[in-house]
Structure formats: C-alpha cells, structure tokens
Amino acid sequence: MLGLCKRYLYLSHRWLGIVLCLFMAMWFVSGVVMMYIGYPKLTPQERLSALPGLAAERCRVNLAQALAAGGQVKSPDSIRLTSVAGAPRYVFTYGKTQIAVDAETVNRIDQVTPAQALASAGSFLATAGGDYLDRIDEDAWTHSKALDEHRPLHRVQMDDEQATLLYISNTTGEVVRDANRNERFWNWLGAWIHWLYPFRGGALDQYAADIIIYTALAGSILSLLGIVVGLLRWRFKGRYKHGRKTPYRNGWMRWHHILGLGFGVIAFTWILSGLFSMNPWKIFDSGAAKPKLQAYMGGEISQRYFPLAVPEALARFQDAGFQAREIEWRLLNGQGYYIAFDGQGRSRILAAQANGRVFEKFGWQELQNAAERLMGQSKVSQHRVLSEYDFYYYSRAAHTMTGHIEKRLPILRLEFTDPASTWLHLDPYTGNFSKLDAGRRVSRWLFAFLHSWDWLPLLNNRPVWDILLIAFSAGGLLISVSGIVIGWQRLNRKLSA
C-alpha cells in the first residue's frame, strides 16, 4: 500500500511538472524584472509635477455652481480642483464614477475629443510634441482596474527621448497613465507575463483571475510534492550503489533533485504567496460592513462648509509661500478645509472659513475624534504615533506594486476592539486614513512578506535584498528549466515508443 502511494506521488509530481514548469520558469524570470521595472503607472508626484500652478483669476466657478452643473443629487465622496490642458477643472467622485466640470465656463465634460486629449497630453509633457493615435478601451499597459472609471482611454504618442505613450481619461480629460519605451519593452518580460495578462482583454477575460488562482494553486501543489519526493528519494543514511545520496545517474535528473532540495521551499513559498496575492475565495476579507465616509467627515461635502472662495484660498496659500497645483475639499469633524498640493507632492491645509489660516498638519486629537465616529461603537484599545516605519506601515519604491501609495511620517495608528480587530492609520498632512483589519494583516505576512520579502532589515540594506532575491530566483529558475528538459525528454520517449 505504501509503495502504491509513493508511485502515485511520483506520477503526480512528474505530470504536473511537465505541464507547469514552463509557467514557473516564466514567473521566476519576470519576477526579477519586476524588482526593477514595474507595470506602468502614473504616480501622484509625477502627475502633480506636470501640472501648472492654479491661477486664482481663472477659477470663476464656485463649488455650488460646479455641483449643480455636475447634475448629481447626492453629495460627492471627494472633490478636486486640478488643471487639464492648463485650464482649471473640478473633478467630483461618486463611488466609482467621476464627473468633471470646467472651473472657468461651468461646462460639464461629457466626453473628451481627440483634439482635447492631444491638448491635455501637450500640457502634461510640454517639452515634446505628440501624435494622437486612437481611443481604446484597454491595451497591454492599461489593465489596471483603477482606470475603469476613465475608460475609454485616448492614446497619444509623444516624441520625447523616452517615446512616452500617454493615456488620457475620456471622463475628465486628465492624463491618467504614462508608459515610456523602457517600461513597455521590459514589461513584456515582467508584469505582463508575471500576472498572466495575455489572458486579459480577450475571450478569456472573465476567467483571467481564476486562471491565475488555479495555476498558482497547481504550482504550489507541484512544489510541495517535489519537496516530499525529493526527501523520500534522498539517502540521509548511507548511499545508493553508485555512491551518491541521490538515486539519479542522469545529469538533468540529478540536478533537478539537488536543486529541488536546495531551493524547493523558496519556490513553494513564492508560488503560494503569489496565489495569496489574488485573495482567493475572499479568504482575507473580514465580512465587516464598509465604514461610512460621511461619519468620518462629520457631514456631507457642500458649499456651506466652504464659505471661503477658491480665489481667496489660493491667494492665502500663495501668501504662505505655497504654490498650489491642486486642491482637495476636505471635511473633518464637520469643519471644511482646503488641502493644497504643490509640484513636489507636499501639502498644506487651509481652514475654509473667512478667518482661516494655512497650517501643515491636523492635530492628533482631531484625527482620533473623526476615527472614533467612523468606527461607531468600537473603542480604541491602543493608539500610537509612528515616527518610523514598521512591519505593517512602510514605504516601497515608486515602481513597485504599492509604491505609488504615499506613506508619510509621522502618522497616527489607532487599534479598535471591533470583531475585525481594525487598525486605522491616519495621515495628519491630509486627513486621509487607511484601514488594516486582521485579515489584511495576515495577508501582509502571507503575500507581501513571503512574496516580495518586504522586511525592513532587508529593504533598508540594499543590495543584500537584491542579492538574496536574485540568487533564490536563479535557483527556482534552474529547478523549472531542469523540469522542462526532463519533461521534454520523457514526452519524446513516450511519443517515439
């Protein structure tokens, strides 16, 4: 019986390997590429650096007029005043819908013409000319769900040194993605194949997530079986007749066995953590109701909380030595504030009252009061001001998957007694918050830590992190390549028999 079990174990590993080793080799190669070049994205700082300063004399439309022009009855979740092709424009967010209104003419932007898209691209990259290409729903560099509210997208090819391809929102007219020549070239070997994007956008689009999940699950099983087989076949005591610890005389089989014992655990954890990146079957979701943003704000965003006119607000930022390129409307504890951003991503806050003043940060108690209202009956069990990054709150390079999310310091961490053991991180520079419940903290271990080795002692000591990940990726690649060769040889023998 034991012999039969072993036989099925060996056969399972053999035939799974023939099917999956090609995928695994692809993942190891593309993973190394992604260490240095990520999927194209437009970071907040890149976007802000390309915007002109907001001109007070051109901001003629007040918030009430712009909201009326937007045509929505309910209050927006967020409001921005930005620039498109050099002109000021309101952008209102309602859930996953965005509506734009011209801040000079009070005209609602129903759709963007090719000429307007070209003008937006020219303003964004003013040192280069551009050629309008087409309007597309999705292509190889725009699979991100964050772009769904902007589709279809206009594409403009710029003639700068990097041959940058710009994507312009059909909803707001803003540039929402840039992809230069270097990013496009390397991503064919990086994120595009690592995330199995060839299955996106075609007949298999609706199955793309399941393909990734079940392929990664099968790869995890293959790796685990390989570890078990490798241990069973290794002679810990004594040697085989030919004098070695491994039973395999053939070079590829012998190297596959040795490499599997040396790097098999790393390969298993990487593939398994890749599976966890998809949050399969919603295993990391807490099931708790989504907190109501209005509870945090203390009301609904409307003109009555912002009696200070936008031109006057811009003048006060200017008097404080701060050149605003974008403004957000913020409601906190029932008080209105303007949050201004400059071209370097720095921010300042202005109380939106007649006697409002410009300042840098909200107080910790103000933020805690808003957070407690957000969490309802749940109580704060612990609060802490973080002045340094830790395991759950840290920053990554801009090109990485989460690198575009700004992680400022200091921030306030509040831990609550709710069933999901929620933590809130509150940014005093903007009043923004992020939520981290027990499920997401588990995901932090099982995905980010195991997959990217996001551990501060390594991240803060480059190139130790690079050397380790490249060495282990090379080991995983050699396991996969040897498996491909062994599988090809076996299939040849089967087909020739």
Q: Global pTM?
A: 0.93
Q: What is the pLDDT of residue 4?
A: 66
Q: What is the pLDDT of residue 15?
A: 77
Tokens of 40: 């194209």
Q: Cα 262 to chain center, whole Å?
A: 32
**Residue in 260, 408, 414, 419 with CA at minimum distance from that of residue 341:** 408
Q: What is the pLDDT of residue 250?
A: 76
CA dist 88 → 54, 169, 343, 483 (Å): 7, 16, 16, 58
Tokens of 27: 């993942």
Q: Tell how strand 165-169 and strand 153-158 pair up.
A: antiparallel
Q: What is the pLDDT of residue 2?
A: 62
Angle at 145 between CA 276 and CA 28, to 5 degrees: 45
Measure the CA–CA gap between 99 and 347, rounded to whole angstroms: 24
334-393 pLDDT tens trace: 999 999 999 999 999 999 998 999 999 999 999 999 999 999 889 999 999 999 999 999
Measure the CA–CA gap between 248 and 255, rounded to whole angstroms: 9
Q: What is the DSSP letter of 321?
A: T
Q: According to the 3-state scheme, what is the secondary structure of 172-217?
A: CCCEEEEECHHHHHHHCCCHHHHCCHHHCCCCCHHHHHHHHHHHHH
Tokens of 188: 């064919």
Tokens of 248: 């395999």
Beta strands in 112-181 (DSSP E): 130-136, 153-158, 165-169, 175-179
Measure the CA–CA gap between 442 and 436, rounded to whole angstroms: 10
Q: How long is the chain?
A: 497
Helix-, strand-, coil-residue percentages of the chain, each rounded to 5? 45, 20, 40
Give the residue extent of every domain in the chain: 2-36+202-282+465-496, 366-436
87-139 pLDDT tens trace: 999 999 999 999 999 999 999 999 999 999 999 999 999 999 999 999 999 99
Residues (pLDDT < 50) of the chain are none
DSSP-assigned states of every residue in 370-413: HHHHHTTTPPEEEEEEESS--SSS----TTSTTTTS---SSEEE
Q: What is the pLDDT of residue 366?
A: 96
Residue 113 pairs in a beta bridge with none
